Amino acid sequence: MMQLPESLPLWLGIPVVLLLLTGSIITLIGALGLYRLPNFYQRIHGPAITITFGAGCFLIASMLYFTGLEQRPVVHELLITAFVLLTAPVSAMLIMRAAVYRDLRNERKGKELSENLHDNMHQ
């Protein structure tokens, strides 16, 4: 089971709990958006809130909690924060460009296909 300390000061506990609750609800909403929205170009906006706000809340909560627990500043979660902030936009942009590219290509292919069919029927 969980290994929690015997006591936690109130000034540390309240922000950690609030950040955990906010982060988890935001993450859930992001995944719900991924599941519920009707088409791809809308779906890509759902996980964005998970990545920025949910991850931010969790990382700050973890930083606060371990700083209080270890009695020394624990700030190495900043590394993950920086990494996520730098890489998430890149992956979102690449997926978006791939989707646009594929849709354009399918459109072109579909047009060629229907033209071919049209020609074949008239021969």
Partner 1 sequence: MSRFLPSPILSLTLLLIWLLLNQSIAPAHILFGSVLALVVPLYTAPLQPVHSGIRKPLVLFRLLSWSLVEIIRSCVNVSRIILFQRQQINSQFIRVPLDLRNPAGLAVLSCLINSTPGTVWVEIIPETHELSLHVFDLHDAAWWVATIKQRYEQPLLDIFEAEAK
Partner 2 sequence: MIVVLEYSLYFAQCCMLIAMLLCTLRLMRGPTAQDRVLALDTLWMVVMLFTLLLGISFANLVYFELAMLIALTGFVSTIALAKFLMRGEIIE
What 3-state class would DSSP assign to 3? coil
Q: CA 123, CA 121: separation in Å to the nearest integer? A: 6
Q: By rule CB under 8 A, what string of x and - marks binding of each residue 76-105 to partner 2?
A: xx-xx--xx--xx-xx--xx-xxx-xx---
CA dihedral 103, 106, 37, 88 (to 10 degrees): -40
Per rule CB under 8 A, is residue 49 in the interface with partner 2?
A: no
Q: DSSP characters for 18-69?
A: HHHHHHHHHHHHHHHHHHHSSSHHHHTTHHHHIIIIIHHHHHHHHHHHHHHH
The reply on whether position 43 binds partner 2 by CB under 8 A is: yes
Q: Which is nearer to partner 2, 18 or 117 (CB)?
A: 18
* Selected binder of partner 2 within 15, 20, 53, 67 (CB under 8 A): 20
Please report how close the Cβ of residue 118 comes to partner 2 at its closest, in angstroms.
Answer: 23
DSSP 73: -
Give the binding site for partner 2 (CB under 8 A).
2-10, 13, 16-17, 20-21, 23-25, 27-28, 30-32, 34-35, 40, 43-44, 46-47, 50-51, 54-55, 58-59, 61-62, 65-66, 69-70, 74, 76-77, 79-80, 83-84, 87-88, 90-91, 94-95, 97-99, 101-102
